Amino acid sequence: MKLSKYIDHTLLKADASLTAIEKLCDEAIDYDFKSVCVNTCNIEFCKKKLAGSDVLVCCVIGFPLGAMSTEAKVCETKDAIAKGADEVDMVLNIGRLKDQNYEYVTEEIRKVKEACGSRTLKVIIETCLLSDEEKVKACECILKAGADFVKTSTGFSTSGATFEDVALLRKTVGDKCYVKAAGGVRSREDFDKMIELGADRIGTSSGTKLIQKGE
């Protein structure tokens, strides 16, 4: 696979203007990234900008805290799909995971996956807030619920992806689902190492610095 296709070109800042989102889309086409990852208000704009390319539109749900009700996440997901989202990155309910209410966590992911239909669902577990045991439990819930990816981080908490976390997530899920590393991947060395450790996708705002055109 081309290295550029590992990248979800990301812009999730609250002050992101449409001018900045347009630049994101132009770069994604120019560098042949896998997707742009944006907030839901930008889905339709990105869909139009990316028409005719193979760059996907990815959006975030329940972002960045994951503490919304299940019903709110499902509604947000359905709206995102209706507006043209190809992939959905949802934030898991971290508090319920820490309460060891794994049934709640699993059922919420399952309902969001159901709302996604055939679209890819990535579940953000915010590894920086979890113990290793909790990371494993989160992966187990994700696998049971039928989601497609486990994703390390929102990039909006205390830290992003680490090598240790990517290795642990890959070991835990095996070949049963994919792994996305996100947050803090800003050097080519880190990018290459994440892939070596088992990351199938990299979420980053630094894609144009990490990849040479044509890779």
Catalytic residue at 180?
Answer: yes
CATH of the domain at 40: 3.20.20.70
**What's the pTM?**
0.97
| Active-site option among 34, 49, 137, 151 | 151
Q: Residue 136: inside a domain, yes or no?
A: yes
Total number of domains in the chain: 1
Per-residue pLDDT of 102-141, as tens digits, reads: 999 999 999 999 999 999 999 999 999 999 999 999 999 9
Q: Is residue 180 assigned to a domain?
A: yes
213 is known as an active-site residue? no
Evaluate whether residue 215 is within a structural domain. Answer: no
> According to the model, what pLDDT value does residue 214 have?
75
Catalytic member of 8, 32, 86, 89: 89
Domain with 172, as residue range(s), is 3-210
Contact 9, 35 (CB under 8 A): yes
The bridge status of strand 7-10 relative to strand 120-124 is unpaired
* Whether 83 is catalytic: no
Distances in Å between the alpha carbon of 165 and those of 22, 73, 126, 156, 171?
33, 26, 10, 17, 10
